[in-house]
Amino acid sequence: MDDLLAARSQMALSLGFHIIFASIGMAMPFFMAASHWLYLKKRKPHYLLLTKAWAKGVAIFFAVGAVSGTALSFELGLLWPGFMVHAGPIIGMPFSWEGTAFFLEAIALGIFLYGWNRIGPWAHWTSGLAVGICGLASGFFVICANGWMNSPAGFDWNNGNPTNIDPWAAMFNDAAFLQGLHMIVAAFQAVGFAVAGLHAWLWKRNHFPIHFSALKIALVFAAIASLVQPLVGDFAAKSVAKRQPAKLAAMEALFHTQTHAPLLLGGWPDPATRTNRYALEIPGALSFLAFGDFSAEVKGLEEFPESEWPPVRVTHTAFQVMIAIGTLLALLGAYALFTLWRRGTIAPWFLNALIVCTPLGFVAIEAGWIVTETGRQPWIIYGILRTADALTPRPGIVYTFIIYCFLYAFLSAVVALLLYRQTIALHKQVIAARGGDL
């Protein structure tokens, strides 16, 4: 493994690990706040117990997310100094705002965890809601910086040096809003189905009402996000078609420029022969989805030098995985809203489906980030700075990559153990209070 591949692998591992905790940090506090609100309105004790249990989970994920996020910050400078020397003065503002949002999130979480019976009930609820709002802000500001990497703005490029820097234009670049919205909705979708799947499994095992209530709260968030996501994804894809035509071509494995461009379902691209195998084509659908016109011309990869092609097979396969899972979760979400509205209960087969789908939202998030990052290659700043040119000259990166593998494996084991202990503690509390409606 050469240094470039090792550095990219280490960054991919860190991002792939951290994005799970970032997603939970954006969505889970709102589930906690919803449960708390139901307790304040209905005064049913199982909502209070659920709120406290979820709050402990939020704290665990927040702590590990802070560790992995800090590691990512250091990696930007240690692995890609050629990037930071140019990008630092331009996109420093969203990172500083992200730090502010993170500290406010930490303060709000501390107030919520230790504010029971110390502050007014609605002020306490507001602190829990603030955890979620600050988490969303923190995630969005980071994505603004990543959006800038995909859609550079706010500067002039003068012989390898940025001039006339406008931090506001850089932060609110053309990719920032849609990319951020796409990620936020994906977080609610993934976390919602994961929490619903976990509590569906627990509900099937012991039929404690607390798990059915938790399932319904998470499932409502997940279902709404799943129905909204195709619309957000469509706008995001249209934006990519305008800003990064090579990425779109790789996503769809479109080798040849054509009108009435087909949308591919599945398939295995062969860059050597510039063909696709085993793909189902929908004629004109890609032209329509990209430009709103079935006869619109879509640029193929042949329009770009092969040295500027993203890894086609990886990008296309990841995009197909994301779309397939998103479609499945949207169908499940639509059925969930219908059955909860009409019947107020959930059929056994649907509980099994939720259990099976527990990890799928996170798989879709990982696939989406593979599309975002791999589809931008070979550029670290799209069209301006190549990834290889930003790499540190330090040798032996493969060893730090191996160390990070062990570190994240250890952190994963710690999180799994802590969550298991919290689940056991919750069940003991429920059993001890079985005289109520827990």
Res 436: pLDDT: 47
pLDDT for 365 beyond 90: yes
Res 2: pLDDT: 83
pLDDT for 369 beyond 60: yes
Percent of the chain clearing pLDDT 70 (strictly above): 98
Q: How many angstroms separate the Cα of 382 from the Cα of each of 38, 374, 388, 428?
A: 47, 12, 13, 53
Phi/psi region, residue 219 (left: phi>0; alpha: psi -120 to 50; beta: rest), is alpha
Res 76: pLDDT: 81
User: Alpha-carbon distance 183 to 141, whole Å?
Assistant: 12
Confidence of residue 57 (pLDDT cuts 50, 70, 90): confident
User: Alpha-carbon distance 184 to 140, whole Å?
Assistant: 8
Instruction: Indicate the range of 37-41, 50-54, 431-435 predicted with least confidence.
Output: 431-435
Q: Is 29 inside any structural domain?
A: no
pLDDT for 381 beyond 50: yes
Compute the mean pLDDT over every residue in the chain, rounded to the nearest whole number. 87
Mean pLDDT value of segment 256-283: 85
Encoded amino acid at 5, one letter: L
Query: Residue 156 burial by CB count (10 A; 0-12/13-18/19+): exposed, middle or buried?
Result: exposed
Q: Is 320 inside any structural domain?
A: yes
Work out how many domains the chain is built from and give that number: 1
User: Alpha-carbon distance 91 to 84, whole Å?
Assistant: 9
pLDDT for 435 beyond 60: no
More confident residue, 224 or 280: 224
Res 162: pLDDT: 80
Encoded amino acid at 89, one letter: P
Q: pLDDT of 6-31, one tens digit each?
A: 889 898 998 888 899 889 989 999 99
pLDDT for 216 beyond 60: yes
User: Alpha-carbon distance 228 to 359, whole Å?
Assistant: 20
Q: Is 87 inside any structural domain?
A: no
Res 438: pLDDT: 56
Helix (H, G, I), strand (E, B) or coil at 299: coil
User: Alpha-carbon distance 40 to 25, whole Å?
Assistant: 23
Domain of residue 383: give its range. Answer: 187-253+305-392
> 162 forms bridges with which residues in the sheet?
157
8 Å CB contact between 206 and 148: no
Percent of the chain clearing pLDDT 90 (strictly above): 23
Q: What is the dihedral of CA 389, 395, 397, 398, to 10 degrees?
A: 120
Beta carbons within 10 angstroms of residue 88's beta carbon: 14
Q: Is 258 inside any structural domain?
A: no
Query: Residue 251 burial by CB count (10 A; 0-12/13-18/19+): exposed, middle or buried?
Result: buried
More confident residue, 185 or 290: 185
Q: What is the dihedral of CA 366, 369, 374, 379, to 10 degrees?
A: -150
Q: Which two tokens stand for residue 94?
A: 């969203």
Mean pLDDT value of segment 47-66: 87
> Which stretches does DSSP call E strand in 186-307?
258-259, 263-270, 275-282, 297-298
Confidence of residue 434 (pLDDT cuts 50, 70, 90): low
Q: Is 116 inside any structural domain?
A: no
Res 360: pLDDT: 93
Res 293: pLDDT: 82
Q: Is 151 inside any structural domain?
A: no
Helix (H, G, I), strand (E, B) or coil at 434: coil
Res 282: pLDDT: 87
Mean pLDDT value of segment 353-371: 92
8 Å CB contact between 105 and 135: yes
pLDDT for 80 beyond 80: yes
Q: Is 65 inside any structural domain?
A: no
Q: Is 218 inside any structural domain?
A: yes
pTM beyond 0.85, yes or no: yes
Mean pLDDT value of segment 243-258: 88
Q: Which two tokens stand for residue 345?
A: 């209960």
CB crowding 6-17: b at 16 or more within 10 Å, else e: bbbbbbbbbbbb
- According to DSSP, the β-strands at 263-270 and 156-158 are unpaired
User: Alpha-carbon distance 77 to 338, whole Å?
Assistant: 49
Spatial neighbors of 183 by CB under 8 A, at least 6 apart, are 23, 139, 143, 365, 368
